[in-house]
Amino acid sequence: MAQYVKKDDDRDEEGKSLSFLVPFSDLSESENLIVYDRVSSVLLRDLLFHFRSTYIVVNVDSFYALAIVMPVDLVVSDDCKAEYSPFSGIEKGAVLQEARVFNDPQLDSRRCSQTEATEVFFSVTKLFQARDIGLRRMVYLIIKELSPSADEVIIVTSSLMKDMNSKTDVYRANAIRVLCRITDGTLLTQIERYLKQAIVDKNPVVASAALVSGIHLLQTNPEIVKRWSNEVQEAVQSRAALVQFHALALLQQIRQNDRLAVSKLVTSLTKGTVRSPLAQCLLIRYTSQVIRESSMNSQTGDRPFYDYLESCLRHKSEMVIFEAARAITELNGVTSRELTPAITVLQLFLSSSKPVLRFAAVRTLNKVAMTHPMAVTTCNIDMESLISDQNRSIATLAITTLLKTGNESGVDRLMKQITNFMSDIADEFKIVVVDAIRSLCLKFPLKFRTLMGFLSNILREEGGFEYKKAIVDSIVTIIREIPDAKESGLLHLCEFIEDCEFTYLSTQILHFLGIEGPKTSDPSKYIRYIYNRVILENATVRASAVSTLAKFGAMVDSLKPRIFVLLRRCLYDNDDEVRDRATLYLNTIGGDGSVVETDKDVKEFLFGSLGLPLVNLETSLKNYEPSEEPFDISSVSREVKSQPFAEKKAAAKKPTGLGAPLAGPTSAVDTYDKLLLSIPEFSTFGQLFKSSAPVELTEAETEYAVNVVKHIFDKHVVFQYNCTNTIPEQLLEDVTIVVDASEAEEFEELATKPLKSLPYDTPGQTFVAFEKPEGVPAVGKFTNVLRFIVKEVDPSTGEAEEDGVEDEYQLEEFEVVAADYMLKVGVSNFRNAWESLGPDFERVDEYGLGPRESLKEAVTTVINLLGMQPCEGTEVVAANSRSHTCLLSGVYIGNMKVLVRLSFGVDSAKEVAMKLAVRSEDEAVSDAIHELVAN
């Protein structure tokens, strides 16, 4: 294809640029080039839709300059070259003069839209008699855009069918597109024979038009289009690039519901019959789909079609190379050996002169770094050079990828590079960098001072709300996860609220300060920052500051006299909320200023949890009618109402920072704990130790959706079955789960709490409780059957029938495993924690794990078996490594702290050996961990 430059020297009467594209060579010498200048966006869209060819577009003064490069085989002679220009003979100056009416300050709507659409349509139909090719092309465009009604379609059908059999290819192609756009199923059967002929037509424009029309028709008339398989199969072998591309797309959509047919199609085409780069990219995507749906060969470990994807990495087209590399990186369970060739190709793209290749490569590597950071480390040097790239998107992706793949020793150097970079990018890119820095700090806890310092520096710079919130959330997360970072992090937040313009952030930081501040070694140093808010801020922040001061007074007895002085000053505030809070806290904590310990009930009343859902409290208060009897909070229902089905299906982002629950072993089960305590049958079971993640017991899109949450107590296990009825015409009543524990001998069923009613789209819970030996990690398999009474619901009234029918639904099995008795709790410094436990209860032994596919698989298997938290990033195994050490931390049932040091080694036969060292606070716990591995 020829090269083109943008020319800017022409100006119109108003001085606006009339830029257009001009080839390096003389325009007359480029036979297959058509250039349009000052094209509107609407016209541009239609031109690009009808010219199925290569094009170049440049935006100029809200118009577009368009260069269309026609396929060489369409440019047959000078005589017929004009057939491919819909605007031949139209004077550019006159068109531009007329188009200026759209830019007038006072629009003349009558002049802009001369007539109504219907009148235009009937007028346009008369133009079928005209022989001007350009005018005929405009007729096709306007009929397609107006989408006439069924009555109006009859008028143009015969003319379009005549054009479909015309000797002029441009008539045939456009008539096919328009007919298929406006026709219905009845007419389609009449023209089906012509469409089949068009698919295998020698002219690629006609064939491509028929295939694209088939893709659209497949949505409305699939049965008719499926009969074209033989013709489409023949079109796949076409030498024209676009025809092959469209034919492959249509053929796959015809067979998409038949896995075997798609697999056969991919198998036949991967043998080298695809010439078009676009079709090759499409084939790579279909191959990836087949790979995902097929399983890896368990004997040889080979993945089907992987060799084809790897061969595409050596293709001459850059888009095919990139598509193949991306497909390899997105394979399920991809190994380091499979990743290597794709990473090598992407690394070459990083140094390309084309920004689009650099961006595509670094974005793909960024995604790979989330799951295989070690595989991307070979590209770090190339990515460091991209930090100064003129394209800020490329630079941001390079930075975040380096943060994910960097090692602990390179953190300081990387932070220096990022410091200069942050001032040059927009807030949305800065947020991405901040999130990556937070992840890096959690990965390397010993570097928290450097990373926290960087976050505090950028917190003082200019930025919007979302950017500042991301920084604050990151600092809060680091404080919660790394205890050593608490005091310095709180001081950074205190300095920020001294000059914070966002009320929401100020109140949230004050709330967080009231929780964490009293637990520090010197709580008094935060009082100055808090009281400054009472003096300088708006009423909302002042009220929040008063509550924070009261928390310090209630939690730190030595600060009470000073806190009471400050609270008394707040009694004269001009805002009633601030005065009311100060009065409440002075009267409940003790306004005499004496240094006495605050009563536990007072602390619970002021700062503890209500113990009931706020939604239920709000509903009860709204329904309360004023009377002589005061509102009784004990009358509020404690039942946790389930999430609506629509919200449940939506993917929810895990909250972090200020929006996240408080850190600690029990924070993840607080909601479940309150729910179980509200049920009399389970209220005597004691403290809830752990609640598992939900385990799905039904497949997606079934009549009933059921998952189970395993609640672990010291002597009991409670299974919470979350059930959802997805059938609108049914109401389920007396819903229970019948559990067969014959393969769990150490468990004995105690109680069942059925669900009275389960309407459509309203999840509910039913529970089954089992007793087990105290403090023993009992395991077993449980079989489940859902039983209920089903009643038909009248869709018009929504009322259910009185009589119902008993029914049951078989659910999947699930197991209680050893990992259910271990809480994942990390430590900031493993070495110090290991030494603090001492060798008194240390147990060391060696185990043979047998042949494994890789060392990484062995490490992951043991981590999942124990259910412990990997520390200091040791869960990541280097590629081709022969040995590895993994550090794990957790809390065993009975609140026993456990630390594990795993040493792995693999020989040439892939036999893996493991040395297990366990330290805990109890000898029996150390022995129990070894028994888990031994069994």
DSSP 352-404: -S-HHHHHHHHHHHHHHHHH-HHHHGGGHHHHHHGGG-SSHHHHHHHHHHHHH
Residue 165 neighbours by CB distance under 10 Å: 13
For 381-404, the pLDDT digits (tens) are 888 888 888 888 888 888 888 888
The pLDDT assigned to 47 comes to: 45
DSSP β-bridge partners for residue 846: 915
The pLDDT assigned to 58 comes to: 41
Q: How far apart are CA 754 and CA 762, in angstroms?
A: 16
Q: Which residue is it, tokens 């015809």?
A: 254
The pLDDT assigned to 149 comes to: 57
Residue 417 neighbours by CB distance under 10 Å: 13
Name 344's Cβ contacts closer than 8 Å, sequence gap at least 6. none
Q: Report the candidate in 510, 512, 495 with the shortest Cα–Cα distance to residue 542.
A: 510
Q: How far apart are CA 633 and CA 850, in angstroms?
A: 61
The pLDDT assigned to 786 comes to: 92
pLDDT, block means (10 residues), the chain with 935 residues: 39 40 36 42 46 42 41 36 49 57 52 49 64 72 65 68 77 81 75 85 88 86 85 87 89 85 85 84 88 59 76 90 90 83 90 90 88 84 84 85 79 78 78 85 84 87 89 90 88 90 92 89 90 90 92 86 89 91 85 62 68 74 80 67 40 47 42 79 84 86 87 90 87 91 88 88 88 83 91 80 87 88 80 82 88 85 87 78 86 87 85 90 85 80
For 236-261, the pLDDT digits (tens) are 888 888 888 998 899 888 888 888 88
- The alpha carbon torsion through 450, 452, 455, 457 (nearest 10 deg) reads -70
The pLDDT assigned to 53 comes to: 41
CA atoms within 13 A on the CB side of 649: 9
Q: How far apart are CA 9 and CA 22, in angstroms?
A: 12
Q: How far apart are CA 33 and CA 28, in angstroms?
A: 9
Task: Please report the DSSP string for 266-308 in residue order.
Answer: HHHHTTTT---HHHHHHHHHHHHHHHHHS---TTT---TTHHH
Q: How far apart are CA 494 and CA 252, in angstroms?
A: 60
Asked whether 647 and 653 are in contact (CB, 8 A), the reply is no
* Cβ neighbourhood burial of 525 (10 Å; 0-12, 13-18, 19+): middle
Name 486's Cβ contacts closer than 8 Å, sequence gap at least 6. 479, 516, 519, 520
Helix axis angle for 169-182 and 204-217, nearest 10°, is 0
pTM higher than 0.75: no
The pLDDT assigned to 322 comes to: 92
Name all contacts of 704-712 with Cβ < 8 Å and 24+ positions apart: 704/732, 704/786, 704/809, 705/645, 706/784, 706/786, 706/811, 708/784, 708/814, 709/672, 710/814, 710/816, 710/820, 711/669, 711/672, 711/676, 712/688, 712/820, 712/821, 712/893
Look up residue 659 and give its amino acid.
G
